[in-house]
Chain A
Amino acid sequence: MEGKIIVITSGKGGVGKTTATSSIGAALAMQGKRVAVIDMDIGLRNLDVIMGLENRIVFNIVDVVNNRCKISQAAIKDRRIDNLFLIPASQSDNKDVLTTKGVQRVAKELKKEFDYIIMDSPAGIERGFENSVVSADEAIVVCTPDVSAVRDADRVIGLLYSKSIKPKLLVNRIEPARVARGEMLSHEDVLEVLSIELAGLVPMDEYVLTSSNMGLPLVLQKESKAGQAFIRIAKRLNGETDLPIEVPTHKTRMWNTISKKFGFTK
Chain B
Amino acid sequence: MLSKLLKRFTSQNKKNSKNDAKRRLQFALVYDKLEINDSTLKDLQNDIIQVISRYFEIDRDALSLEIQRDDDASALVFNTPILNMKRK
A residues lining the B interface (CB < 8 Å): 146-147, 150-151, 154-155, 179, 181-186, 189, 192-193, 195
Looking at chain B's contact residues, the main secondary structure is helix
B84 contacts the other chain (Cβ, under 8 Å)?
Answer: no
Q: Say yes or no: A147 contacts B25, CB within 8 Å.
A: yes
B32 interfacial contact with A, CB 8 Å: yes
B67 to chain A, nearest CB (A): 9
Q: Please give, as numbers and ranges, the residues of chain B lying within 8 Å of A181 by CB-CB distance.
A: 15
Q: Which of B18, B29, B71 has the most CB of A within 10 A?
A: B18
B69 touches A185 (CB 8 A): no
Instruction: Give 9 closest A-B pairs by Cβ, nearest first.
Output: A182-B16, A189-B22, A185-B18, A193-B25, A195-B69, A147-B21, A154-B29, A182-B18, A185-B21
Chain A residues closer than 8 Å to B49, beta-carbon distance: none
Interchain CB contact under 8 A, B69 and A193:
yes
| Chain B residues closer than 8 Å to A184, beta-carbon distance | 18
Rounded to whole Å, the gap between the CB of B13 and the closest CB of chain A is: 10
CA distance A127 to B46 in the complex (A): 43
Cα of A179 to Cα of B21 in the assembled complex, Å: 12
Complexed CA–CA distance, A45 and B32 (Å): 31
B22 in contact with A146 (CB, 8 Å): no
In whole Å, how far is A224's beta carbon from the nearest beta carbon of chain B?
Answer: 26
Interface residues of B in 1-29 (CB under 8 A from A): 14-19, 21-22, 24-26, 28-29
Q: How far is the CA of A185 from the CA of B17 in the complex (A)?
A: 9
**In the complex, A88→B88 CA distance in Å?**
75
Which of chain B's residues has its CB closest to A181's CB? Answer: B15
Contact check, B17 vs A151: say whether CB atoms are below 8 A apart. Answer: no
A-B contact count (CB 8 A): 43
Query: Can you list, as one digit per residue, whether each of B25-49 has a CB less than 8 Å from chain A (1) or not (0)?
Result: 1101100100000000000000000
Complex contacts, A147 vs chain B, CB 8 Å: 21, 24-25, 28
Q: Which residues of B contact A186 (CB under 8 A)?
A: 18
Contact (Cβ within 8 A) A183 B69: no
Bound together, the chains give a CA A20 to CA B71 distance in angstroms of: 26
Check B69 against A182 for contact (C-beta < 8 Å). Answer: no
Q: How far is the CA of A183 from the CA of B16 in the complex (A)?
A: 5
Which residues in A have their C-beta under 8 angstroms from that of B14?
Answer: 183
Asked whether A183 lies within 8 Å of B28 as measured between CB atoms, the reply is no
Contact: B21 with A146, CB < 8 Å?
A: yes
Q: Is the CB of B18 within 8 A of A193?
A: no
Q: How far is the CB of B71 from the nearest CB of chain A, in Å?
A: 6
The answer to whether A151 touches B69, judged by C-beta atoms less than 8 angstroms apart, is no
Return A178 CB to nearest CB of chain B, in Å: 9
A-B contact pairs, 10 of them (CB 8 A): A146-B21, A147-B24, A147-B28, A150-B25, A151-B28, A154-B29, A192-B22, A192-B69, A193-B29, A195-B69
Interface status of B61 (Cβ within 8 A of chain A): no
Residues of B within 8 A of A146 (CB): 21
In the assembled complex, the Cα of A183 lies from the Cα of B70 at a distance in Å of 26
A161 vs chain B, min Cβ distance (A): 9
Q: Which residues of A contact B24 (CB under 8 A)?
A: 147
Q: Taking A147-B24, A192-B69, A193-B25 as contacts, is the C-beta distance between A183 and B15 under 8 angstroms? A: yes
Contacts of A189 in B (CB 8 A): 18, 21-22
